[in-house]
């Protein structure tokens, strides 16, 4: 078996393992907690809507062996009902847009989806299975409210404080090509 075929088979096996991990971590979908809606749709009385968005940067597919992962999916669960958000991937060969941790060539994956659900308190889980990231929080949504949930990546590789102490070391500190260590969730501009 040639080296290229072996790498493709390895990549596919990692994808299958990551997908299985996400299903186990999030659990099976239950009930009709939410429904996906278009941006122009209005919500029913007593309901709220939430737009979930994220912009994640990953190594190009030929570089994924460096972090042991694959290009990601973003998975969401609200009160037991799960959904996989589809992302659009584009090569990014420019300097960082949002900070030094994203400097360099890679793949930018943008996620966005809008959902309608009953107003009230909900248990929210967000997962990036290819990176083995899972975060669980409780959120409160008021009737008739329009809400925005931002999923912000926390890249692996150390803290920004470490970079300040050793600015000459280009690779010091968190970098997208080292993988995603976690996520921060922001609901309507407030950290959860």
Condensed to tens digits (0 to 9), the pLDDT of residues 126-176 reads 999 878 899 999 999 999 999 999 999 988 876 555 445 544 445 556 777
Q: 69-78, 89-98, 125-134: which has the minimum mean pLDDT?
A: 89-98
The reported pLDDT for the residue numbered 165 is 53
- The beta strands (E) that lie in the chain are given as 34-36, 47-58, 74-78, 81-85, 87-92, 106-118, 120-128, 133-141, 146-155, 180-187, 190-191
The reported pLDDT for the residue numbered 103 is 74
Percent of the chain with pLDDT over 90: 41
CA–CA dist 106, 180 (Å, integer): 14
The reported pLDDT for the residue numbered 6 is 41
CB 54 within 8 A of CB 131: no
CA dihedral 162, 106, 17, 11 (to 10 degrees): -130
b/e 133-152 (16+ beta carbons within 10 angstroms → b): bbbeeebebeeeeebebbbe
CA–CA dist 152, 133 (Å, integer): 12
| Average pLDDT over every residue of 113-133 | 93
Distance of CA 68 to the CA centre of its chain: 17
Between these two residues, 25 and 83, which has the higher pLDDT value?
A: 83
In sequence order, the 6+-apart residues with CB closer than 8 A to the CB of 70 are 11, 14, 15, 18, 61, 64, 130
The pLDDT tens digits for 45-67 are 999 999 999 999 888 766 544 44
Choose from 11-15, 32-36, 75-79, 105-109 the range with maximum mean pLDDT. 75-79
| Average pLDDT over every residue of 116-121 | 96
Task: State how beta strands 133-141 and 74-78 pair.
Answer: unpaired
CB 145 within 8 A of CB 122: no
The pLDDT tens digits for 100-110 are 777 778 888 99
CB 152 within 8 A of CB 186: yes
> In whole angstroms, how far apart are CA 135 and each of 16, 33, 34, 93?
21, 19, 19, 30
Number of C-beta neighbours around residue 72 at 10 A: 24
The reported pLDDT for the residue numbered 104 is 77
Q: Is the pLDDT of residue 22 over 60?
A: no
Q: Is the pLDDT of residue 82 over 70?
A: yes
Range of the domain at 103: 3-191
The reported pLDDT for the residue numbered 117 is 95
The count of structural domains within the chain is 1
């Amino acid at each position: 078996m040639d080296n290229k075929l072996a790498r493709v088979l390895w990549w596919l096996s990692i994808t299958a393992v990551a997908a299985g991990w996400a299903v186990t971590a999030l659990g099976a979908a239950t009930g009709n907690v939410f429904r996906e809606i278009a941006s122009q749709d209005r919500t029913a009385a007593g309901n709220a809507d939430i737009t979930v968005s994220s912009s994640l940067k990953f190594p190009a597919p030929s570089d994924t062996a460096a972090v042991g992962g694959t290009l990601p999916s973003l998975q969401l669960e609200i009160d037991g009902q799960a959904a996989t958000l589809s992302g659009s991937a584009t090569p990014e060969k420019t300097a960082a847009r949002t900070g030094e941790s994203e400097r360099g060539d890679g793949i930018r994956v943008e996620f966005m989806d809008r959902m309608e659900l009953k107003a009230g308190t909900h248990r929210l889980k967000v997962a990036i299975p290819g990176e083995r990231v899972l975060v669980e929080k409780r959120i409160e949504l008021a009737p008739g409210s329009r809400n925005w949930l931002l999923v912000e990546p926390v890249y692996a590789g150390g803290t920004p404080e470490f970079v300040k102490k050793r600015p000459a070391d280009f690779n010091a500190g968190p970098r997208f090509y080292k993988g995603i260590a976690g996520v921060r969730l922001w609901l309507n501009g407030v950290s959860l």
